[in-house]
Structure 1
C-alpha cells in the first residue's frame, strides 16, 4: 500500500511537472521589466526670482494650473515701455499725416501760382510786342520800351520760380510719404515688442503643461530660475511596461499578444496586459557608447530588446503604479 502511494505521488509530480513544462512553452518571461510613463520636466521660459509657490510635493495638478510665479516687475516695466513707444509712433504718424495734408495744400497753391505767373508772363510779352510797334513809330520812348522789356523778363523768371516751387513741394511730399512708411514700420516694431513683452510677462506665471503628480520639486520661494532649468517634474496617470526580452525569446512575439504581469510592489495582484510594439533595435544601440564589435577581443553577448506592453490596471491600482517599479512579464506566444 505504501509503495502504491509513493508511486502515485511520483506519477502525480511527474505529470504536474510535465504539464507545467509544456504550459511554459507557450510563454516567454523576463524579470527585466520596469514601469514607464511620459514624465514631463517643467522649465521656466523667462528668468527671475520665484516670489510665490502654488504647489506642494506629490500634489495632483491639471494642465493650465499655475505652479509658481516669477517676479514680474522688470517684465511689467517692459510692457509699459512698449505701450509708450506705440503712443509715440502713433503721434509721429498723426503729425506726419498733418504735414502731408499741409504739403498737399502747398502743391495746390504752387499750381495756382503757376497759372497766375503764366498769365502775367503772357500779358507782359504781349505788352512788350505792342511797345515794340509803338517804338518803331516813335509813339513811345526807348525808356518806356526798356521798362516793359524788363517786366517781361521778370514775368518769365516768376513763372520759372513758380514751376520750381511746385517741383520742390512735390519732392517734399514724396519725402513725407517715405517718412510715413518708416513711421509705420516703427509702429509695427513697437507693437511687436509689446506682443513679445506681454508674452514674457504672462510667462512669469509658470503653468502645468499636462496633468500629473508633482514630483522632484526643485523650486522654492526666493530661488532664481532661468530658461532650461528643470524645476518641477510631472508624472501622469498613464503608465506602461518596458520589458527587456532576450533576442532569443522574441521569435514569436508580436503586437496584440496577451501578457501576464506581476509587479514587485503588488506580488499578489497579477495584472493583464497586451503587447503594444517591439522596439526596432536592441537596447545597446541606444546607449551612450554603442558596442563596436569589429575588434579583436569580441565576446558574444545575448542582446536585449525592449517590448512596450500596455497595462490594464484594476481600479484599486489606478494611480498607485508608479514609473520605475520592477515587474515580471510573461508573454503568451504561439509557436
Structure 2
C-alpha cells in the first residue's frame, strides 16, 4: 500500500453484532431449539387433534344436476337467442327451428275443423226447420183425422136414425096406414145415410193415411240428427289434430326448462338438429352441492347430518359450510361405466373411495360467492358415530 491509501476498519452494525453474539451464546441456541421443538409439537398435536375430530379430503368437487336440453323434432336451426354463460329463466327461448311446414299443416287442419263446424251449423238449422214443418204438418193431419172420425160418428148416428125411421115406416105401410111413397122416401133416406157413412169412413182412412205420411216425414229430423252425430265425431277428430299440430309447432321453439345458466350450446344457426339429440347443457347455480370421495377406511366415521367445512380452490377465503346428506352404498369403481375386472391376474390393492353428497348451507355463506360445477374443493367432515344398517 502506498502512503495515500487509507485503511477503513470493518464496522458491524450494532443489531447484527448483537444477534451474532446472542447466537454464539449456548443458552440462546438451546432456547431456540427448545422453542422450535415446542412449535413442532404443538403443530403435530393440532394435526393429530384435527385428524381425530375430522375426516378430510381434497378429492371433492362442486356438483350440480346438468340438464341436457334436447329437441323432439328434427329440422334446420333458424335462430339462436342465447350464448354459453347466459343466465336464463324457465321458458326463455334458446333456439328456433324452421316451422313453415308445421304452420301450413296447422292451417290445413284448422280449415277442415272450420268446414265441419259450418256443416254442423247448417244441419242444426235444418233440424229446426224440419222439426217446425213436421210438427205443424202432423198437428194438421191429426186434426183432420179427428174431424173425419167425428164425421164418421155423425154419419153412423144418422144411419141408425134412418134405419129406425125406415123400420117404423115399413111397419105402418104393412098395416096399410101409409102409402108406398112414404116407404120409398124412407128407403131413399136410409140409402143416403149408408152412403154418407161409407164416405165418412173413407175420408177418415184418408186422413189417417195423411197423418202417417206426416209422421214419416217427421223422421227426417232423426236422419239429420244421425248425420250431425257423424259430423260432430269428425269435428272432434279434426280438433284433436289441430291440438296435436299446435304441440308440434310449439316444439319448433326450444325453451329453457328451468331457471339457470347455459353451460354449452351444441348447434349454430343453419345447422340441422336431430330428434332426441341434446342442443344445450345448463344447470341451476342455486342448486349445487359437493361430491366428496372418502376413503373406505374413513367412511365408517362419516354419518348423515355431520357438519362440514368446505374450502373452494377458486376462492380459498370464502366461508362455506354444509351437511352430509347421503352416503353411497357402492364404491366409485363399482359405479363406473367400465369397471376394471383386473383380468391380467396381477393384483394391487388400492384403497377404494365412496362418494358422499354434501348439501351446502344457505345461511352464513360469503356474499356473492359463485361455485361452478366441476371446480375442486377440500372438505373437513366432523366425525360422528354412524349406525350400521343391515
Q: TM-score range, shorter-chain basis?
A: 0.7 to 0.9
Residue 113 (structure 1) shift = 1.0
- Tell whether the 8 Å contact from 1:254 to 1:277 is kept in structure 2 after alignment: yes
* CA–CA separation in structure 1 for the residues paired with 2:31 and 2:100: 92
Structure 1 residue 115 and structure 2 residue 143: aligned? yes
The whole-number CA distance in structure 2 between the counterparts of 1:169 and 1:247 is: 91
What secondary structure is seen at the aligned counterpart in 2 of 1:322? coil
Q: In the alignment, is the contact (CA less than 8 A) between 1:279 and 1:305 conserved in 2?
A: yes
Is 1:210 matched up with 2:210?
Answer: no
* Greater Cα radius of gyration, structure 1 or 2: 2
Which residue is equivalent to 2:379? 329
Tell me if 1:196 matches 2:196: no
- SS at 2:265 equivalent: coil
Is contact 1:282-1:306 (8 Å) kept?
A: no
Matching of residues 60-79 of structure 1 within 5 Å: 60-79=87-106
Larger CA deviation: 108-117 vs 251-260 = 251-260
Q: Structure 1 residues 303 and 16 mapped into 2: Cα distance closer, same or farther (>3 Å)?
A: closer
**1:234, 1:117 → 2: CA distance?**
84
Q: Specify the alignment match of 1:85 in structure 2.
A: 112
| Partners of 1:211 and 1:234 within 8 A in 2 | no
Q: Equivalent residues in 2 for 1:143-158 (5 A)?
A: 148=196, 151-158=199-206
Which range moved further: 14-23 or 302-311? 302-311
User: 2:323 maps to what in 1?
Assistant: 275
**Is 1:38–2:86 an aligned residue pair?**
no
3-state DSSP class of the match of 2:292? strand
Corresponding pairs, count:
325
1:323 Cα deviation after fit: 1.3
- 8 Å Cα contact 1:38-1:236 kept in structure 2: yes
Distance 2:274 2:88 in 1: 22
Gap change, CA 1:237 and 1:90, over 3 Å in 2? same
RMSD: 3.6
- Post-superposition shift, 1:69? 1.0
| Contact 2:309/2:379, CA 8 A, preserved across alignment | yes
CA displacement at 1:258 relative to structure 2: 3.1
TM-score w.r.t. the length of structure 2 is 0.69
Gaps of 5+ in 1: 293-297
Per the TM alignment, residue 78 of structure 1 is displaced from its structure 2 partner at its CA by 2.7
Secondary structure of the residue that 1:282 maps to in structure 2?
strand
Is the 2:330–2:354 Cα contact (8 Å) retained in structure 1?
yes
Equivalent of 1:234 in 278, 282, 292:
282
1:246 equivalent in structure 2? 295
